[in-house]
Every structure is written in C-alpha cells, then in structure tokens.
C-alpha cells in the first residue's frame, strides 16, 4: 500500500478532526495557530494556574499584583522626592506610567525562561502545541498589567490626573510591547530548556536594560542633548559617547511603548518626541518592525527546538 508521508494527518487537521499525526505535519505558523486555538482550554488552565501559583502561600494572595507596583512606587517616592528632593509636577505619575509597560515586558521575559521547564511533567506526558507555554507567560502578565491599571486609575483620582479619550492610545502601545516581549520570550523559553544559565543571564541583562529605557528619566533629556543636570551619567552616556546606543534607544520598542503610555495617560495624546530630527512615525515604524521581526524569529527558533523538549532532562 503506498504511503503518503505528510498528507493524511494534515488533511484531517484542516477538517478539524482530532488526530495525532505523530508530528508528521510540517510545523507551519498556520497549523500551529490552529492547534493553539484547538487547545485553548489548556492555555486558559495554564494561565489560571500561573496566576494562582504565583502568590501561593501568601496571606494576601491576589492583592499582591496590586501591592507590588504600589510598593515599588513607594520606594521611588522615597528615593526621588524625599532623598533627592526632586521637584517636578506629577513626578510619581510620570514614573508609574513608565513602570507599568516595563514591568509587563520584563516579567514576561523573565517568566518565559521557566515556562517550559516548570511544565516538564506535562510536556513529557501529553501532546499540546508548545507555543502555549510562552503564550501563557505573556497572557498571565497581561492580566497582572490589567490589575495594576486598576491601582493606577485609583492613584490618578488622588493625583487629579484627568481621564480622557486619549487613553485609547494605550492599546497600540501595549500591543507593540507584547509582540516584542513574545518574540524574546519564545526564543528564551526554547534556549532555557537546554541551558539553565539563560535564566541568570536574562535576569541581569534586564537589570541593565531597565536603565536604558526611559522609565526613570524623560526621553527628551537623553536625545536633545540638553544636559539639564550634568550629574546624570546616563544622559551623557547615551547622548554623546555612544551614538549606536542612542540609535538603539530610539528604535527600542520599549522606548516607544513607554512614551506611548505617557502620551496617552499624561499628555492628552500629544505625539511624543523621541528624537528631535526624525518624525515620530518613522522611528515608531522602525520599532514596530523590530518587534515583529523579533516575534517571527523567536517563534521560528521556538518551533525548531520544541520537538526536542520532551527528550531533554
């Protein structure tokens, strides 16, 4: 009987029948997406479990996803306003709006380094599209971001920042950060299965990256070269000595994402000026391109490695 190598399983898959083709289907992005949709119940279960397990054995439980950013803000308030006596209107609002997208990004990337290894028992036992694992890290942290927004809106009432229609700009800014975070998450999830070092390297690189994103300082200080406070080493660092870093800074999807958040929440939708010489749409396009390319490369790397996960360890 003639045996056709790829055909049978794939045709059944398209017809929506539940089959196990022994992984004979070529892993195209489309079939993987269909598989994720078919196994969405697993995704929701993993997300629910991530949310529950994160604060297990803690008395306050879910309240921590609200309390964590609050406490971080408290620390900054102490450092910048009490210790340094920095006097800038709405400085706390400025910090928080930059911190939320950063927290979403960095936690997703950090969680991704454990997302496969911690589910090894499932990976070895049953088939499900492995793409679900980095996706669950992304979605769990998106939900944490939503929780944190509830706190933020509460704070805005206290700080008397007005709520307006320009908040809708948060959507594209969040999508940009999410796409970029997913790409890195998929890539790192795959590598961390084979090398435990990835987790530690990523943790430290994120520590550096934090200072290269405009969470703690306004972006125009860096790029207009207006050194209002010469003691700020970072401004000098970025604006004069390292032109390449400066370019990367402008094209970093996080810079655009954070500035997008600030424009939406604090500046009434005013277009942010990230670079004085080029129009906003140009570097936004560049950053979007970088985010998309990262996502595609990340997914390709992940799919290539995914078949070997169950054989590892």
Partner 1 sequence: MPVIQASELWKQYRRPKVKAGSLKEAALAFFRGQRGSEEFWALRDVSFSVEKGEAVGLVGPNGSGKSTMLAILARVIKSTRGAINVVGRVCPLLELGTGFHPDLSGRENVFLNASLLGLGHRETAARYEDIVDFAELHEFMDAPVKTYSTGMVIRLGFAVAVHMDPDILLIDEVLGVGDEHFQHKSFGRLLDFKKAGKTLFVVSHNLDSITSICDRAIWLDRGRIVKDEDAVEVVTKYKLAVEHWERTIQEAKARNATPR
Q: H helices of 160-279, where?
A: 170-194, 197-212, 219-223, 233-236, 243-251, 253-265
- At residue 82, φ and ψ (nearest 5 deg) are -85, -50
18 binds partner 1 (CB under 8 A): yes
Q: Please tell me the distance from the alpha carbon of residue 96 to that of residue 308, in angstroms, as a whole number.
A: 41
Residues in the chain, how many?
313
Cβ atoms 9, 24 nearer than 8 A? yes
Element (H, E) at 67: helix 64-76
Q: Binding mask 45-74 vs partner 1 (x if CB under 8 A, - otherwise)?
A: xx-xx--xx--x------------------
Of the residues 78, 127, 278, 281, which one makes contact with partner 1 according to CB under 8 A: 127
Q: Return the range that interacts with partner 1 (CB under 8 A); candidates 4-12, 107-115, 145-153, 297-305.
A: 4-12
19 binds partner 1 (CB under 8 A): yes
Shortest Å, Cβ 123 to partner 1: 8
190 binds partner 1 (CB under 8 A): no
Of the residues 125, 228, 247, 304, which one makes contact with partner 1 according to CB under 8 A: 125
34 binds partner 1 (CB under 8 A): no
Tell me whether residue 71 or residue 196 sits nearer to partner 1 (CB atom).
Answer: 196
Tell me whether residue 46 or residue 145 sits nearer to partner 1 (CB atom).
Answer: 46
Q: Burial level of 225, CB count in 10 A (0-12/13-18/19+)?
A: middle
Q: Return the range that interacts with partner 1 (CB under 8 A); candidates 38-46, 61-69, 159-167, 206-214.
A: 38-46
Tell me whether residue 30 or residue 126 sits nearer to partner 1 (CB atom).
Answer: 126
Site size for partner 1, by CB under 8 A?
38
In the numeric block, which tokens belong to residue 69? 């950013």
Shortest Å, Cβ 206 to partner 1: 18
Tell me whether residue 12 or residue 273 sits nearer to partner 1 (CB atom).
Answer: 12
14 binds partner 1 (CB under 8 A): no
Of the residues 80, 128, 169, 217, which one makes contact with partner 1 according to CB under 8 A: 128
302 binds partner 1 (CB under 8 A): no
270 binds partner 1 (CB under 8 A): no
Q: How far is CA 235 from CA 25, 125, 146, 181, 256, in A?
A: 52, 52, 32, 26, 18
Q: Tell which residue, 172, 216, 201, has the closest CA to residue 109.
A: 201
Contacts with 135 (C-beta within 8 Å, 6 or more apart), sequence order: 36, 43, 182
DSSP letter at 272? Answer: P
DSSP letter at 130? Answer: T
Of the residues 13, 36, 67, 122, which one makes contact with partner 1 according to CB under 8 A: 122
Q: Tell which residue, 212, 79, 81, 96, has the closest CA to residue 151.
A: 96
Note the residues at the interface with partner 1 (CB under 8 A): 3, 5, 8-9, 12, 17-24, 39, 41-42, 44-46, 48-49, 52-53, 56, 121-128, 195-197, 307, 310-311
């Amino acid at each position: 009987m003639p045996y056709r190598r790829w055909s049978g399983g794939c045709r059944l898959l398209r017809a929506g029948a539940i089959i196990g083709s022994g992984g004979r289907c070529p892993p195209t992005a489309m079939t993987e997406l269909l598989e994720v949709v078919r196994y969405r119940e697993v995704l929701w279960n993993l997300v629910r479990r991530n949310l529950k397990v994160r604060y297990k054995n803690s008395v306050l439980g879910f309240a921590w996803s609200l309390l964590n950013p609050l406490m971080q803000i408290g620390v900054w308030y102490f450092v910048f306003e009490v210790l340094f006596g920095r006097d800038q209107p709405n400085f706390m609002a400025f910090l928080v709006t930059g911190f939320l997208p950063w927290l979403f990004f960095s936690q997703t990337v950090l969680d991704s380094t454990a997302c496969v290894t911690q589910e090894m028992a499932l990976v070895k036992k049953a088939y499900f599209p492995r793409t679900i694992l980095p996706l669950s890290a992304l979605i769990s942290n998106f939900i944490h971001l939503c929780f944190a927004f509830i706190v933020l809106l509460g704070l805005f009432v206290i700080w008397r920042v007005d709520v307006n229609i320009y908040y809708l700009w948060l959507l594209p800014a969040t999508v940009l950060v999410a796409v970029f975070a997913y790409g890195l998450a998929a890539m790192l999830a795959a590598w961390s299965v084979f090398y435990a070092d990835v987790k530690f390297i990523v943790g430290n690189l994120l520590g550096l990256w934090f200072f290269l994103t405009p969470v703690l300082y306004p972006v125009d200080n860096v790029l207009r070269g207006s050194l209002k406070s010469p003691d700020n080493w970072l401004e000098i660092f970025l604006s004069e000595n390292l032109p390449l870093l400066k370019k990367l800074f402008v094209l970093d999807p996080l810079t655009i994402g954070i500035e997008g958040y600030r424009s939406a929440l604090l500046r009434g939708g005013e277009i942010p000026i990230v670079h004085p010489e080029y129009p906003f749409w140009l570097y936004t396009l560049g950053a979007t391109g970088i985010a998309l390319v990262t996502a595609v490369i990340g997914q390709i790397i992940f799919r290539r490695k995914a078949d070997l996960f169950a054989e590892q360890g």
